[in-house]
Amino acid sequence: MEDKKSNAAPHKDESDVLALNQTIQQWEKTAEEYLNGWKRATADYQNLQKETGKAREEFSQFATEGLIRELLPLVDYFDFAFRSLPEGLEKSEWLTGIQHIYKELMQVLERHGVKIMKTAGEAFDPQFHEAIEEVEAEGESGSIAEEVQKGFLLHGKILRPARVKIIQ
């Protein structure tokens, strides 16, 4: 009878070990699933932080866009005034003061990310330029002959296209 008991005990121990190994494997699988879920959640959170940071940065860059759009006509008025200057005012102190105001306005706009589009001698690009007239002039057909109104970029985004005359 002793032999039967000794034979039965190892068999029971083996089944217990197998059951424990299965339980351990199940727990390891569950732990791995939880770990992978945690890694995905961490990656999602990091991506959310990056996207939120980009959105905040973009918002702060373009939050002043409405105000800047309202200031652009002032630049046009200054340009028009300087082109239509009455005789005798070219060297006046009054004009020097007005030029300083214009220069300060342009510096403020520049500090806020506004840049003037280059048009002189450039090829016409409908993304950046608005053609208001075709003129006969020397130069390559389709290039800009004259700038009528300045175009502006705000942090690389078109704020207002330049209005230009192009060569036929």
Segment (H or E) for 160:
strand 157-160
Rounded to whole angstroms, what are the CA distances from 122 to 101, 125, 150, 154? Answer: 29, 8, 14, 20
Does pLDDT of 4 surpass 90? Answer: no
So what's the pLDDT on residue 1? 47
What's residue 10's pLDDT?
57
Can you read off the two tokens belonging to residue 124? 């016409």
Please tell me the predicted confidence (pLDDT) of residue 11.
66
What's the CA gap between 162 and 118, in Å, rounded? 9
Using one digit for the tens of pLDDT, what is the confidence trace for 71-126? Answer: 999 999 999 999 998 888 888 999 999 999 999 999 999 999 999 999 988 899 99
Whether residue 165 contacts residue 135, with contact meaning beta carbons closer than 8 Å, is answered with yes
Instruction: Kindly report the pTM of this predicted structure.
Output: 0.65
Q: Which residue has the higher pLDDT, 11 or 144?
A: 144
